[in-house]
Structure 1
């Protein structure tokens, strides 16, 4: 018998919605960091992809950034000029690819944020490393099973120096347990990028530049944006459908184009119709608030720090008077994303997605 309706113990993906009226800003330096929706831009120290969707010719955003791809063992990060320049006294972001050990099926991953080195590994590596950490419950593991551990080490502490007992224990783990070359993404927060002549990055370094990639989508059916936001079930359904429309438009789906003809067996999707009583762009009682517009998609991909997102969003905000744009962000973690829709009447509709 098929157990189709069986409930799952896995965590349910969550989406948190918020809305606010935006103040008038004259320059990017005036933008807050803790107020909605700006707090979403600073919710993580780095992100992977940004997509800016707007009516054609309404925005001209072309922010650039540089980051580096390094290849070095963990021990090299904890010793020599790199450690002294970028970790003890500097401010850098580091994100590693998984370190897979040839002798076992174990793997570990590493991040460095504000001088704190975080190590995520399985039980076997954790016990061999001999470092203090905490268990991470894994909803995908078997019942009563704990498959991951996290170790956090503040490398800026005065005690984190060669010869100190605690630091020597870390070096010993890097020499005997977490062994092998690791690929790292590197961004220097203090320098707002990467210096190409930085000899401390080692010989296996590749400087990458984040550049805007632009594409057009013509004759797109754009739904009206809700003006009356409440906990009414119908309004909540409108917000879900609006988020779905933004996601489809961001991938240049032909399903949102005017005149799209597709067999119902393939797709039954229709651009949502939001009642004019709940939209800001119509005043009559017509039930169809959709308009046809040509859209431009600007995308940025790479190792993007929070400051880069804030600058990109700020430029779009200052240029979008009387117009709308959607700002879609995807993090490195699976299922972590958020969307901000800035409307023509200077409101921000935000979806924070987890899982």
Structure 2
């Protein structure tokens, strides 16, 4: 038997592959249940979104998105934890509204705060945890002498007990006044359409941003077959599906990166790179890539997927990828890619990358 891996905070991410079909999508009623929608809504703090589609389908999709999909907006603001969990900000944005916030820091070394769907999560070291006096649990695997223990505190701020005079809420306010006093830089996103008036965020002088898409048009690529063989599904050939999914995901990832290895005229020395576009039925084509960067929510991504499905002709392929913010080491983040194969109405192939954090 192979020896067990040494405990470490830096665990390898996992990749989950789903091949399935989705029903008719009603743009007036956003779906939440069933894949791929449940996977989309499970994402928390999205940093980058890439939409890749053939050049001939770009004009129709872009015109449709311009009329239906608003660009994501977010803000950067400096606030202390006490500013967030009390006052008008707490009442209007957390108790009544639906916001998400991510502070500076990392889960592995710093104090990191996240606020998502009313749940406040705090990643702290052992000393801070003991001083705060809030209920929590150990975070990450138990390390050796070189690693310091980490703790995570989770509080549902929408719980009925989170009001002044209740023990849990008063302990949180006390911790904000004695332990979590240092202001932090936050990213703020309001997932609702209507902003409270007056806006409780304005006294903290936020810097507003709008994520405008970056367009790369007419990129010449060598495209493999993006359709799962019917014999693979008919025979339930797990190994063949895994092989196809791995090669397809590698190709989509290289297209996202803008790698010259997938260009139709690529002629690199095989001594430097042995990669070649998979399959024998490859064809030269041109694609467009729309990229958004910022601080985006899962409902916005769901709306984008719905509108792209509505605008794309049934025989057109596209891929939609979303990468979340990393909360620990750089590059270790959740990622989701959905591929709609050509000439396969309702079919999709989805990759979910689950990071260790």
TM class, shorter-length: 0.7 to 0.9
Determine if contact 1:210/1:301 at 8 Å carries over to the other structure. Answer: yes
**Cα offsets for 1:86-137 (capped at 9, x unmatched):** 123322211111289xxxx973111122322111111111011111111122
Residue in 1 aligned with 2:339? 341
- The answer to whether residue 298 in structure 2 is matched with residue 306 in structure 1 is yes
Do the aligned residues in 2 keep the contact of 1:217 with 1:252 (CA within 8 Å)?
A: no
**Which residue in 2 is equivalent to 1:40?**
39
C-alpha displacement of 1:12: 3.9
1:164-212 deviations in Å (ceiling 9; x for gaps): 43322211211221121111111222336x6797243423311111211
- 1:191-206 equivalences under 5 Å are 191=193, 198-206=199-207
State the distance in 1 between where 2:283 and 2:306 align: 27
Q: Distance in 2 between the 1:134 and 1:7 partners? A: 24
User: Helix, strand or coil for the counterpart of 1:85?
Assistant: helix
**Which residue number corresponds to residue 276 of structure 1?**
none
Partner of 2:140: 137
Say if 2:92 and 2:200, in contact at 8 Å, map to a contact too. no
Q: Partner of 1:186 in structure 2?
A: 188
Q: Residues 55, 197 of structure 1: CA spacing in aligned structure 2 closer, same or farther, 3 A cutoff?
A: farther
Residues 1:122 and 2:120 are matched in the alignment? no
Q: How big is each residue's C-alpha offset from its partner over 1:137-165, in whole Å with a ceiling of 9 and x where there is no partner?
A: 237x3289772211122223343233443
Tell me the secondary structure at the aligned position of residue 29 of structure 1.
coil
Higher helix share: 2
* 1:232 Cα deviation from its structure 2 partner: 4.3
Aligned partner of 1:151 in structure 2 is 153
Separation in 1, partners of 2:258, 2:125: 40
1:282 matched residue in structure 2:
none
User: Structure 1's 296 and 167: CA in aligned 2 closer, same or farther, altered over 3 A?
Assistant: same
Q: Note closer, same or farther for the CA distance 1:323–1:196 as it changes in structure 2 (3 Å cut).
A: farther
Aligned residue for 1:76, secondary structure, equals helix
Local SS of the residue matching 2:28 = helix
Instruction: Select which of 259, 265, 272 maps to 1:259.
Output: 265
More displaced 10-residue stretch of structure 1: 45-54 or 241-250: 45-54
1:352–1:76 CA distance, 2 compared to 1 (3 A): same
Q: Structure 1: how far apart are the matches of 2:30 and 2:160?
A: 35
Structure 1 length normalisation: TM-score? Answer: 0.84
Please, what is the CA RMSD of the aligned residues? 2.7
2:296 alignment partner, SS class: strand
The counterpart of 1:171, out of the listed 170, 173, 176, is: 173
Q: What is the SS of the residue equivalent to 2:336?
A: strand
Q: Are 1:136 and 1:146, in contact at CA under 8 Å, matched by a contact in 2?
A: no
Cα deviation 1:224-251 (Å, max 9, x = unaligned) = 0223344343442222111000000111
Moved more, 141-150 or 333-342: 141-150
